Structure 1
Amino acid sequence: MSRHGTAARLSFYYAALFTAVGAHMPFWPLWLKDKGLGATDIGLIMAATYLTKIMVGPAAGHLVDRHGDRRHPMSLLAAGATLVWLLFSLVDGFGPILAVTVLAVGLWSGIFPLGESLAMMETQRHRLDYGRVRLWGSLTFIASAIATGSLLTRQPSAVMVWVVAAALGLTALACWCLPTSVAAGRGKAPATPLWPLLKHPVFLAFLATTSVGTASHTVYYAFATIHWQAAGIDGDTIGLLWAEGVIAEVVLFAFSGWVVGKLGPGRLLIIATCAGMVRWLGLGMFTAIPALAAFQLLHAATFGCAHLGAMHFIARAVPPTLSARAQGMLSAVAMGAAPGLMSPLAGRLYESLGSSAFFVMTGLSLVGAGLALFLARRWDGGTIV
């Protein structure tokens, strides 16, 4: 496949995937609230969306590292997630909603580590800029968040079930169009054992840094929309606030080749965690729209720098025959266990502290900054196993 053809297919995949994310992430707590769930129950449901990744990510990575194929498993996962998501239109009550969440999000979340592994392999093979491919996902997140916010000012939150299901169906098509990518050295058994990576102090520091950074976002992801709505901000403006943060992320991704070349993965993780201290402090103190708009620009650092740092750390520090399992571990630990364990606490914090719950996230970012400094000092920039 040509270089431009590969870039187009990867861009289509990210665009479709993040259309679903843009509709789901900012506004799904509203659907849960309208179903009669309280803040603690919403925190538990959000925790389930993370904790399912503990099993799904490593299992998917293990399968791919043994057999090499990514495209077909990703297509099946996306198709299954589409069908299961429609069950949300039939369920009520905490227990049934939790059950459908575990199944639907389990299928959906399995796509992410496989897609990142495939994308990093293909961008390196064809000498593409990963950030410029990935930014199409950020752009569609923006469009989807704005469109969904506008839709919810005119339609009941029940419409979200159909919006997310349609976007997941588009994702299944995009996965089917992806190139088939198999790393050299793969066969019917793993070419490289996983244990040396899991016990390496640099990889453990990487997982700890990314885990704390992701956990610090839990109050924002679960309750920012509810908090802003309670402050009298309308749905259109809330959609724009979410979109603004991702626009800043897009600008970063557009120059990611230069940024990664100048700073490297370690410094990017340091910047991400330090920016978190400022961002969460600001969101806890202010609800005026100009102030929120200013602090939302830091999404480019708290998420964008963290994501670029994580992807390029794995690309540089982990051999290709372990890449899918490394992505799976990142998904399970940093994107699954850490925010999953933090989300129920985030629900209780917001229920009891309100906006001051963001200050606890400031403390987490401080811990993350210390871990990022340790990682940057211990890693020489090369392969660790």
Structure 2
Amino acid sequence: MFTVAAKSWLTLYFVAFYFVWGVFLPFWGVWLSGQGISAEDIGLLFSVGLVLRFVSSMGLLPLVSSGSSILRLLRVLSFLTLLAFAVLFYLQGYLWLSVITLTINFVIGPLVPLGDIIGTRLVNQIQLDYGRVRLWGSLSFIAGSSCIGWLIVEYGQPSILWLIVGASAVMWTVSLLKLTPQLDDGQTQEQGVKQSLLSLLKQRNVLLFLIVVGSIQGSHGAYYAFSSIYWKGIGISESNIAWLWAIAVAAEVLLMRFNKKLFTNWSIKQMILLGLCAGIARWWVISFTDNVYLLAVVQTFHAFTFAVTHLAAIRYISQQKNIDMVPYQTLYSGVALGLLMALFTYVSGIFYEQLQGQVFLIMSLLLIPVLWCLKIWKTA
């Protein structure tokens, strides 16, 4: 087994994973639609899949404590992700497509927080600049979404599955590489993590934190599940759809690259307020326009709706005692990025057939009450 520097390993992992994510997230709904799955069923599969990401994150992440156990879980889940995608070459029909899509969501869910956990440990261990490593993942997301947009035009929707299987094979291969130096075990308390999750949820400020950041991130549910389908339905080409996704992530990359210069003097609440207001505006504009240029402009708001909100959440988590960082990360991944996004996605799936683009207006309206939650939330 080859050995690579820890920083290079994490960079390669982010590149491999987010290439898969860049194909799966924007275009899996398109692929399912091409297999005859209705928009309502796609919304249901996406929302149930998000619940399963919540279940897997909440169930599996507390089990890891040592550096070796983190890497072992990541390698197993990477292999299962590859296997689940690959069997779709042989298994067809609504039942199999549904079961395998849900399985994919279950096994892929913890792969994002596992990468973040490894990154957090390397920050302390080798003084890693996490932001600069993570932005390579965002660039890879752009590459994946742009590449599949071109392939669909040239070779049709079957290319989605072919590319995602190939990229998953690369991700699994990268996960097998050894790190140098090896991951430290850190200062987690394996026996106390599970018990602390419920106690944390009972704390008012923690609950408000999850509601606020979870609502902002969850409002992306309609965007992730239906934006490509909606834009294609109103006459926007697959290549332009891919570019719209790429523009959003490019804005995210630029913000992450310069976030220290831009937000060093901002408070956590100010950063989240920016993400919240940008979300209200972004989904409202998407709900009424089919102008590609206007959509391109508003897609740059992804830097605020996703990136700024995520950076603020990570900053908040990092301010907790080291012993509490694992359960905080677990709740953020499972509840905010999983359960609440599942709820928003389910709502969008129920109404998409009837409302089409107006479902994004619902996302915008659902964020307005969150302003009050943010007002009463105390960050310290």
Which of 325, 328, 350 is the matching residue for 1:348?
350
Q: CA deviation at 1:53?
A: 1.5
Which of 277, 280, 283 is the matching residue for 2:280?
277
Instruction: Note the alpha carbon deviations across 1:278-329, whole angstroms, 9 max, x for none.
Output: 1001101111111101100101000111111122221112x33333332222
- Give the letter for the 2:104 counterpart: A
Q: Percent identity?
A: 26
Return closer, same or farther for 1:35/1:57 CA change in 2, 3 Å cut-off: same
Instruction: Note the alpha carbon deviations across 1:229-268, whole angstroms, 9 max, x for none.
Output: 1221111111111000110000001012333422243322
Aligned to 1:164: 164
Secondary structure in 1 matching 2:127: coil
Secondary structure in 2 matching 1:70: helix
Match status 1:229 vs 2:232: yes
Aligned to 1:288: 291
Secondary structure in 1 matching 2:191: coil
Q: CA RMSD in A?
A: 2.1
How many Å separate the matches in 1 of 2:32 and 2:58?
Answer: 29
Which of 367, 370, 373 is the matching residue for 2:369?
367
Contact residue 51 and residue 337 of structure 1 kept, 8 A: yes
How many Å separate the matches in 1 of 2:45 and 2:270?
Answer: 34
Contact residue 53 and residue 108 of structure 2 kept, 8 A: no
Aligned to 2:142: 142
Match status 1:198 vs 2:201: yes
Match status 1:181 vs 2:171: no
Instruction: Note the alpha carbon deviations across 1:170-189, whole angstroms, 9 max, x for none.
Output: 22233333644345434663
Q: Structure 1-normalised TM-score?
A: 0.91
How many Å separate the matches in 2 of 1:312 and 1:183?
Answer: 22
- Give the letter for the 2:200 counterpart: L
Q: CA deviation at 1:45?
A: 1.3
Contact residue 148 and residue 159 of structure 2 kept, 8 A: no
Question: What count of residue pairs does the alignment treat as equivalent?
Answer: 374
Return closer, same or farther for 1:184/1:145 CA change in 2, 3 Å cut-off: closer
Match status 1:105 vs 2:108: no
- Give the letter for the 1:258 counterpart: K
Contact residue 193 and residue 327 of structure 2 kept, 8 A: no
Instruction: Note the alpha carbon deviations across 1:183-202, whole angstroms, 9 max, x for none.
Output: 54346634795144232222
Q: CA deviation at 1:8?
A: 2.3
How many Å separate the matches in 2 of 1:18 and 1:237?
Answer: 20
Which of 251, 260, 264 is the matching residue for 1:257?
260
Match status 1:18 vs 2:32: no
How many Å separate the matches in 1 of 2:360 and 2:51?
Answer: 22
Gaps (5+ residues) in structure 1?
381-385
Aligned to 1:245: 248
Contact residue 47 and residue 346 of structure 2 kept, 8 A: yes
How many Å separate the matches in 1 of 2:193 and 2:100?
Answer: 36
Contact residue 230 and residue 357 of structure 2 kept, 8 A: yes
- Give the letter for the 2:30 counterpart: L
Return closer, same or farther for 1:196/1:155 CA change in 2, 3 Å cut-off: same
Q: Structure 2-normalised TM-score?
A: 0.92
Aligned to 1:383: none
- Give the letter for the 2:72 counterpart: H
